[in-house]
């Protein structure tokens, strides 16, 4: 069963249901969040000093929206992840290669799954900024002892420990 806008209100009253995540998650949908540190990525040219002129690109997750459908088998989530990419001065090949992850946690914050989604964002000749959405489907099998609302879905960018430390330092300085 797919959730369509016309039928969403009727489905909410049925056991399980369907909801639009960007309207606020109803009590049967897992919560979703973009992680603070890994929600932004600044990638520098390899072997560089890491100065402003060495930036290949900056990327940021800007939003999560989508649909949540719950039935007796589990939870299906169709997520649209908003991503912004800004070309840096050291970017000579007109593209930004990165990956983001979607992690599913249980109510005790144990990671159940963590899936990586590689991306290549291509800039046109003079283009400096890209804004787009990537669609991903997440399926969470039902566990007898857990309610669907007890799961948490986190998103962030894959990065090196040095990139994560740089992001956290930058975020603290804001």
- Reading the chain (174 residues) residue by residue, the pLDDT tens digits are 334 333 333 333 333 455 555 444 445 788 899 998 899 999 999 888 788 899 999 999 999 998 888 888 888 999 999 999 999 999 999 999 999 999 999 888 999 999 999 999 999 988 999 999 999 999 988 777 778 888 899 999 999 999 988 888 887 887
C-alpha dist (Å) from residue 40 to 73, 78, 149 = 34, 22, 27
pLDDT of residue 21: 56
pLDDT of residue 148: 80
Residue 1 included in any domain: no
Residue 106 included in any domain: yes
pLDDT of residue 17: 53
- As for how many domains the chain has, the answer is 1
Decide: 39 and 77 in contact? Cβ < 8 Å. no
pTM of the model: 0.81
**How far is it, in rounded angstroms, from Cα 38 to Cα 60?**
9
Q: Which domain holds residue 155?
A: 8-173
Decide: 120 and 96 in contact? Cβ < 8 Å. yes
Q: CB-based contacts of 76: which residues, under 8 Å, 6+ apart? A: 68, 69, 137, 138, 139, 140
Residue 129 included in any domain: yes
Q: Tell me, what CATH number does 22's domain have?
A: 2.60.40
pLDDT of residue 144: 77
Residue 60 included in any domain: yes
pLDDT of residue 3: 41
Residue 2 included in any domain: no
Q: How far is CA 156 from the centre of its chain?
A: 5
């Amino acid at each position: 069963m797919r959730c369509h806008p016309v039928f969403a209100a009727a489905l909410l009253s049925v056991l399980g249901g369907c909801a639009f995540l960007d309207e606020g998650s109803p009590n049967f949908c897992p919560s979703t969040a973009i992680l603070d540190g890994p929600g932004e990525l600044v990638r520098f040219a390899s072997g560089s000093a890491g100065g402003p002129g060495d930036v290949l690109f900056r990327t940021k997750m800007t939003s999560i929206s989508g649909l949540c459908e719950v039935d007796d088998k589990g939870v299906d989530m169709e997520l649209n992840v908003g991503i912004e990419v800004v070309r840096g001065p050291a970017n000579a090949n007109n593209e930004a290669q990165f990956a983001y992850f979607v992690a599913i946690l249980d109510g005790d914050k144990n990671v159940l799954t963590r899936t990586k989604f590689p991306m290549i964002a291509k800039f046109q000749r003079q283009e400096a900024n890209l804004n787009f959405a990537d669609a991903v489907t997440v399926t969470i099998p039902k566990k007898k002892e857990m309610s669907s609302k007890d799961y948490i879905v986190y998103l962030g960018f894959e990065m090196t420990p040095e990139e994560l430390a740089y992001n956290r330092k930058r975020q603290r300085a804001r």
